[in-house]
Amino acid sequence: MTETPAASDAATDAERAAMRHGLDLAARGPLTGGNPQVGCVLLDAGGRTVAEGWHRGAGTPHAEIDALAKLPRPSDARGLTAVVTLEPCNHTGRTGPCSEALLAAGISRVVYAVSDPGEVSRGGGERLREAGVEVVGGVLAEEAEQRLEGWLTAVRRGRPWVTVKWASSLDGRAAAADGTSRWITGAAARQRVHEQRAEHDAILVGTETALADDPSLTARGDAGELLAHQPVPVVLGERRIPADARLHAHPAGVIETGSRDLRAALEALHARGIRRVYVEGGPTVASAFLAAGLADELVVYLAPVLLGGGRLALGELGIPTISDALHLEVRAIEHLGEDLMLLARPRKKA
């Protein structure tokens, strides 16, 4: 989505600058928890910033409310312009509707970047217009879409954003001939994995991995300490894990799908408020997500070692000929000690 000419013409330079700052404010909020990252800047008639705020996670004040609360007096909001990175919500959840809060405060103009796609929460812009507030949408929409891509994708598709991760040797092997795989990559790469786990709502493995490895699937720091956010572990498959499995002691609990149906599992996770899933389930599960077209992002850790043999990091993808290859767009490359991390996304078909 790009900014429409109407939005470009209707927004002032000060509002566009405030929107860019609002996007930076939004990034201070958590990626996890089911809610979007949102920033808000309040401007006076001269285009000067008088207050700003951002959303700090589910159950906390939304960005608009956070910004309004920073004014010296509630009456100071009258006549101000609210610049918000996402259309103000129009529903009551853990907090009240931001559209009504802006109306009650006396905000006279609202500028936002992206329309809220939620079936329940959308409509705040129209509510404000009906009440006589001047509303401009679509300002810096493309930048906001990129910042909110994971959350927007989850809400629009009704299933979480899926990151598929694997680690392999340079020749694409996930393990040696005898099945050993600890550790293909070094300490820096393994720590980066823990940081990425903490950026997701859930971490998914298959029953084969859960039964064979008995993993803890926690997100840990350099010293082995638990990080502040712990993704809930999800075990995909029909078999149950044993009562004494380490996953039952996970601080976030554990979810067992009882099915190998990927789409059904993702929809069920979405219904629980899970918007970001980190798939770490080994070659079988990783291949299944890719073959089904359900991988939004790939994180591949490459170690400068050669293993040979048949323990490939990926299995069958249903690609019979080279012309059907799944083409990727590499978004980032990181050096982590001697290892490399590649962040890539499937190319969109024309």
- What is the DSSP code (8-state) at residue 301? E
Catalytic choice (64, 87, 100, 280): 64
Q: Report the chain's C-alpha Rg in angstroms.
A: 23
1 near 145, Cβ under 8 Å? Answer: yes
The single residue listed with the structure tokens 């067992």 is: 256
- State yes or no: is 64 an active-site residue: yes
Burial of 137 (0-12, 13-18, 19+ CB in 10 A): buried
**Secondary structure (3-state) at 163:** strand
C-alpha pair distances (Å), 18 with each of 32, 65, 308, 348: 25, 17, 54, 32
Between CA 82 and CA 15 the distance in angstroms is: 9
Q: β-strand 297-303 against 276-279: which pairing, if any?
A: unpaired
Structure tokens of 63? 């960005």
Between CA 283 and CA 161 the distance in angstroms is: 19
166 near 314, Cβ under 8 Å? Answer: yes
51 near 68, Cβ under 8 Å? Answer: yes
* CB contact burial 198-217 (16+ within 10 A = b; e otherwise): bbbbbbbbbbbbbbeeebeb
Structure tokens of 60? 């906390």
- Helices first, then strands: H and E counts in the chain: 11, 13
Structure tokens of 153? 């994708």
Question: Looking at the annotation, which residues are catalytic?
Answer: 64
